[in-house]
Structure 1
Amino acid sequence: MEYHRITSIEDPLFRSMHELMQEVFPPEEVLEFGLWKEPLEDPGIRVFVAVHEGKVVGATEYRYYEDFNVAMTDFTIIGRSGLGIGPFLAKQRGKDLEALAAEKGVKLHGMFAEIYDPYRVGEHEFGGVKPMDPFVRREVLSHLGYKRLDFEYVHPSWNNDGEAVTGLDLCFLPTDDEQDRLSAELIVSFLKRYYAVLPNRPQSWYDMVKRLEAQSEVALLPL
């Protein structure tokens, strides 16, 4: 299997990846095709696909914030079962992020991720692909070491229509698996940077940020 980075919407594999995203994710979670041009050209955004026999069978997007020394996993897609796509993507992503942190002379502090909570929201079927089932994904991410940040999370819709998306948790994978709290200031700084691309954010998102700004730390809880 090949781990191939996509840096342009002109890459033929990007259309395949975008179609896979549309098959798997709810519509409000998928940025429209043309709006990918600038993100793909941004050196800080890393989009890779797993290519098997010339076809895109999985994908992951993530970014490394060197000033925060944390990463964010935007998404991971497993398009087919029985190929070991999930472990392949996780291993390759980890190696890439470790190398990026090492270039700065540090060890990666950890990685954020948004995770659906199927116990609250049960209608997401993710294209019928069993490895993408939210119950399976949540358990796998728990095994990887992700922990849930203890606050009510609001996610602005990627449709940029100002709507709030709920039913997700913001989680963090600490490099130190004994870590049980995270700086609220880091969380706020990260969220403001991450969602700067969406000018139309719901009021509930701003309220969430304000509550976080009043805290010093946020507990990391088991998934």
Structure 2
Amino acid sequence: MLYHRIVSIEDPYFAKLHQLLQNIFPPEEVLAYELWKEPLEDEGIHVYVAVHDGEVVGATEYRYYPDMKVAMTDFTIIGRPALGIGRFLLRNRERDLERLARESGTASIGMFAEVYDPYRDLGHGFGDVSPMNPHVRREVLSHIGYKKLDLRYVHPSWDHEGQAVEGLDLCFLPADEERSDIPAALVAQFLKTYYSALPNKPQAWLDMVEELEKRETIGLLPL
């Protein structure tokens, strides 16, 4: 299996990746095809696909912020079962993030990720791909060591419509697995940085960030 980085919408694998995104995620979670041009050319955004027999069977996007010493997993997609795609993506991403931290002269304190809460009514089948079932994904993140931030989470829709997307939790994988909280200011700084590319922010998101800025810490709860 090939771990291939996509840095242009002209990459022949990009069309296959975008189709996979559309097959798996709800429309409000998928950035329009042409709007991927600038993010892919951004050195700080890492988009990799797992290629098997010439087909894109999985993908992951992530980034590392040296100033905050945190990473973010934007998405992980497993397009087909029984190929070991999840483990393949996880290990390659871990090695690359270790390299990015080392080259920046920092040590990561952990990694953020968003995950759907399957115990709410999502009304979406995630492409009917069994490994992408929200119950499975949530349990996998829990096994890896992710914990749920103790806050009611919303995020701006990626379709640029400015809607508040609910049904997800913001999680954090601490480098120190005994860690029970993280600074609220770090969470607020991360969210403002991460979503700076979206000009339309829903009021619910603005209220959430304002509330974060008033708190000292955010608890890390079992996922």
Q: How does 1:170-185 map to 2 (within 5 A)?
A: 170-185=170-185
Structure 1: distance between partners of 2:52 and 2:119: 33
Q: Calculate the TM-score normalised by the size of structure 2.
A: 0.99
Q: Secondary structure at the match of 1:170?
A: strand
Q: Secondary structure at the match of 2:196?
A: helix
* Identity percentage of aligned residues: 65
Shift of 1:162: 1.3
Shift of 1:210: 0.8
1:62–1:73 Cα contact (<8 Å) kept: yes
Alignment correspondent of 1:85: 85
Q: How does 1:111-130 map to 2 (within 5 A)?
A: 111-130=111-130
Q: Which has the larger displacement, 120-129 or 89-98?
A: 120-129
Shift of 1:106: 2.6
**Aligned residues between the structures:** 223
Q: How does 1:70-149 map to 2 (within 5 A)?
A: 70-149=70-149
Structure 1: distance between partners of 2:107 and 2:158: 31
Shift of 1:97: 0.2
Alignment correspondent of 1:213: 213
Q: What letter corresponds to residue 137 of structure 2 in structure 1? A: R
Structure 2: distance between partners of 1:37 and 1:66: 24
Alignment correspondent of 1:153: 153
Shift of 1:121: 2.8
Structure 1: distance between partners of 2:2 and 2:157: 32
Structure 1: distance between partners of 2:105 and 2:159: 38
Structure 2: distance between partners of 1:201 and 1:155: 8
Q: What letter corresponds to residue 218 of structure 1 in structure 2? A: I
Structure 2: distance between partners of 1:8 and 1:128: 29
Alignment correspondent of 1:32: 32
Structure 2: distance between partners of 1:108 and 1:121: 35
Alignment correspondent of 2:190: 190
Alignment correspondent of 1:167: 167
Q: Secondary structure at the match of 2:200?
A: coil
The alignment status of 1:17 with 2:17, answered yes or no, reads: yes
Shift of 1:23: 0.4
Shift of 1:122: 3.5
Shift of 1:107: 2.2
1:124–1:134 Cα contact (<8 Å) kept: no
2:122–2:167 Cα contact (<8 Å) kept: no
Q: What letter corresponds to residue 3 of structure 1 in structure 2? A: Y
2:112–2:172 Cα contact (<8 Å) kept: yes
Structure 2: state its 5+ residue gaps: none
Structure 1: distance between partners of 2:98 and 2:70: 11
Q: Secondary structure at the match of 1:178?
A: coil
Shift of 1:124: 2.1
Structure 2: distance between partners of 1:107 and 1:212: 24
Shift of 1:120: 1.3
Superposition misfits of 4+ residues, deviation over 2 angstroms: 104-107
Alignment correspondent of 1:68: 68
Q: Calculate the TM-score normalised by the size of structure 1.
A: 0.99
Structure 1: distance between partners of 2:97 and 2:66: 10
Shift of 1:100: 0.7
Structure 1: state its 5+ residue gaps: none
Q: What is the RMSD computed on CA atoms of the aligned residues?
A: 0.7
